[in-house]
Amino acid sequence: MTIKAKSPADRSRAVRLAVTLIGLAVSLGACKTFDAPIVAAEPYPDDYRLRHPIAVTEADRSIVVFVGTGRGGMTAAQRADVMGMAQTWLREGTGGITIDMPVGTPNARAAHETLREIRAIVAAAGVPPRGVSVRQYQPKDSRHMAAIRLNYPRISATAGPCGLWPDDLGPSYKNTSWFDNKSYYNFGCAHQRNLAAMVDEPSDLVQPRAESPAYTMRRNTAFEKYRKGVSTTTIYPEGDKAKLSDTGK
């Protein structure tokens, strides 16, 4: 068996072919991109009340009474704040009033004198003594003035958080809701949050209140007029006195 050696021309063609293949592989590798996978946002309800529901939970209501170092007692505005909080507690409080007292601070002695006045105001508003508790705390930052804090739990309504934008607002390949004319995710969140903050009785968002008893005397009067065939509307004689002026006619 004889082995024929390759000629210089064959070797040159083989080298050129190898170089071409290597160059092609390098160019194809350079064209490959490593984009992050497109993660589609989870579908959300079209109704903003379902996207941003108002939750009825228990939260704290608190006020702060600032006390100086040279004198105890409260100002007229602070007394009004404490009295208003105590009266509101009678209506909406779901737990006792907790008074946080600073200790180890320059105004600790003045705060102790102010505490006696706070207790007197709270008791005058009708809060029982067992409904008030005092606990001490040490401020972490000495730069802030240590104050007396009053708080109690109550039923509260809340919604949010707002400002979440899982999709782009404009048209893009990642945002499919734009093509479907669908409201964006954050739409209606501020409205729900403001409504939750303004409602006076959070339970009204869940169920209606019971009706008050009917005014029997007025109802009997209206029924008697209806039986006689007389108009049941109320007559206001003083209404004729309010007439427009004839000046300028």
Checking if the pLDDT of 148 tops 50, the result is: yes
**What are residue 136's DSSP bridge partners?**
101
Checking if the pLDDT of 234 tops 90, the result is: no
Burial class of residue 199, CB neighbours in 10 A (0-12, 13-18, 19+)? middle
* pLDDT digits 0-9 by tens, 6-60: 566 666 776 676 667 666 665 655 544 444 444 445 678 889 999 999 999 999 9
Per the model's pLDDT, the better-predicted residue between 247 and 31 turns out to be 247
- Give the pLDDT confidence score for residue 165 in this predicted structure: 83
Q: Is the peptide bond before 161 cis (omega within 30 degrees of 0)?
A: yes
User: In the CATH scheme, what architecture does the domain 58-156 have?
Assistant: 2-Layer Sandwich (3.30)
* pLDDT digits 0-9 by tens, 155-174: 999 998 998 887 777 666 66
- The mean-pLDDT minimum among 36-45, 176-185, 209-218 falls in 36-45
- Kindly state the tokens that stand for 100: 């946080």
- The mean-pLDDT minimum among 152-161, 186-195, 199-208 falls in 199-208
* pLDDT digits 0-9 by tens, 85-95: 999 999 999 99
- Give the pLDDT confidence score for residue 35 in this predicted structure: 47
Above pLDDT 90, what percent of the chain? Answer: 42
Phi-psi region of 142 (alpha: psi -120 to 50; beta: other; left: phi over 0): alpha
- Rounded CA-CA distance 7/56 in Å is 90
Residue 237, Cβ neighbours under 10 Å: how many? 6
Contacts 24+ apart (CB under 8 A), 114-122: 114/65, 114/67, 114/72, 114/73, 114/74, 114/148, 115/148, 117/72, 117/73, 117/74, 117/79, 118/65, 118/74, 118/82, 118/148, 118/150, 121/79, 121/82, 121/83, 121/86, 122/82, 122/86, 122/97
Per the model's pLDDT, the better-predicted residue between 128 and 7 turns out to be 128
Mean pLDDT score of the chain, rounded to an integer? Answer: 82
**DSSP output for 1-44:** ---PPPPHHHHHHHHHHHHHHHHHHHHHHHH---PPP--PPPP-
Enter the pTM of the model: 0.60
In the chain, domain spans: 58-156
Angle of the 108-124 helix axis to the 76-92 helix axis, nearest 10: 50
Q: Please give the average per-residue pLDDT across 137-158, as a whole number.
A: 88
- Give the pLDDT confidence score for residue 118 in this predicted structure: 95
Per the model's pLDDT, the better-predicted residue between 25 and 145 turns out to be 145
- Kindly state the tokens that stand for 167: 């999709």
Q: Please give the average per-residue pLDDT across 198-220, as a whole number.
A: 88
Banded pLDDT at 153 (limits 50, 70, 90): very high
